[in-house]
Amino acid sequence: MGVLKTYGEFLPLTPDTPSINLGEGNTPLVRSQNLERELKVGELHFKLEGCNPTGSFKDRGMVVAVARAVEAKSEALICASTGNTSASAAAYGAHLGVKTFVLVPQGNISLGKLAQAMMYGANILAIRGNFDQALKLVLELTQKHPLTLVNSLNLHRIEGQKTAAFEIVDSLLDAPDLLFIPVGNAGNITAYWKGFKEYCELRKARKRPQMMGFQAQGAAPIVLGHPVENPETIATAIRIGNPASWKKAEEARDESGGMIGSVSDEEILEAYQELAQKEGIFGEPASAASLAGLIKLIRCGEDFSQKRIVCIITGSGLKDPDTALRAASPPQELEMDINLIEDALGL
Ligand code: AN7
């Protein structure tokens, strides 16, 4: 049905907003089959945002931002992106026939995301710089030209993304005790917190979760308390050194009694594989930062045995085949001989 129709009453829509829908939202909330027991968590769920139409949570906000841009007769959309925003903007731009410009950091965007933006027909520039520098340029361009910014500084993005919090409450009949979420530009943690607060005010939830955000160790400005000039991490989606929603992420952390921590690339890769091999859930590396954060806290002695926890898996693992092929074992090659095959399979 789509986010606009399902949650329209909570979104900044007008009677003139086009009613569009690429099938975003209504993503599965899946109960853990193995890690819940191994990690001794009371209840562990994964929210599979990779099931959105372009394979990430960005679609929830993009549908609102692009519908409103079309309503305002915008000539073109523009964003800087580590990949997922560009794929989503390009898809909704194509769906509504609006030109889409994207600036991505050359060499640091995963293959699937680049393929998506190309296929949807966006005008893509791979700049010789990082995401933070690309965003700065995009903001300058929007000052000079009549372009609609569709980064999460566009508050319609945040409004759309808060619907994921609504879905979690609608499905659990309350907010979880804790929400684990990757943090990059910090729009998503801002959006979830807004969603949980609104549902609580409307008495659809009795409580609000502690917001547990995780950045990659080489790109952890909020944890360090200062911008990181040259952010580095294998999780290219969150390779961000100066998040646009920094202050709002801190508010979410402080108002909820949560935390923003960091996880190393090794911890991210471990969680990435655990999630795939123990749960059958293939998230992209940045997505695994949420689970990596949970595992890290448990190793440090935290007891979550009485807690209900949701980990947000923000994007699909298929977006980054290169990292998957490096992380997992390659197939064994073999002649077409049944005896050799039986031997190889240990049958
Ligand atoms: C899979 O696409 O910033 O903290 O330009 O793709 O709201 O930025 C992506 C971010 C987490 C972090 N997981 O969310 C972009 C971009 C995935 C992501 C994040 C991103 P924010």
Separation of CA 12 and ligand 1 centre (Å)? 22
Residue with tokens 């898809």: 91
Q: Which atom of ligand 1 is nearest to the CA of 79?
A: 5
C-alpha angle 206/210/215, rounded to 5°?
150
CA 222 to the chain's CA centroid: 17
**Residue nearest ligand 1's atom 16 by CA:** 82
Q: Which atom of ligand 1 is nearest to the CA of 249?
A: 4
Q: How far apart are CA 237 and CA 87, in angstroms?
A: 12
CA 15 to the chain's CA centroid: 30
CA neighbor of 294 nearest in space, from 68, 60, 46:
46
pLDDT tens profile 204-219: 999 999 999 999 999 9
pLDDT band at 268 (very low <50, low <70, confident <90, very high): very high
Q: Is 32 in the pocket of ligand 1 (CB under 6 A)?
A: no
pLDDT band at 118 (very low <50, low <70, confident <90, very high): very high
pLDDT tens profile 51-86: 999 999 999 999 999 999 999 999 999 999 999 999
Q: Which atom of ligand 1 is nearest to the CA of 182?
A: 11
- Stated pTM of the model: 0.97
Q: Is 161 in the pocket of ligand 1 (CB under 6 A)?
A: no
- Of 314, 316, 320, 323, which is best to mutate to test ligand 1, by the most ligand atoms within 8 angstroms of its C-beta? 314
CA 300 to each of CA 25, 258, 295, 296, 304: distance values in angstroms, whole numbers, following the listed order: 35, 16, 9, 6, 12
Separation of CA 200 and ligand 1 centre (Å)? 26
Q: Is 256 in the pocket of ligand 1 (CB under 6 A)?
A: no
Share of the chain above pLDDT 70, in %: 100
Phi, psi of 217 (to 5 degrees): -55, -40
Q: Which pLDDT does position 221 carry in this prediction?
A: 98
Residue with tokens 């000539």: 75
**Residue nearest ligand 1's atom 14 by CA:** 184
Separation of CA 150 and ligand 1 centre (Å)? 13
Residue with tokens 């530009």: 185
Average pLDDT for 163-187: 98
**β-pairing, 76-80 with 99-105?**
parallel
Share of the chain above pLDDT 90, in %: 100
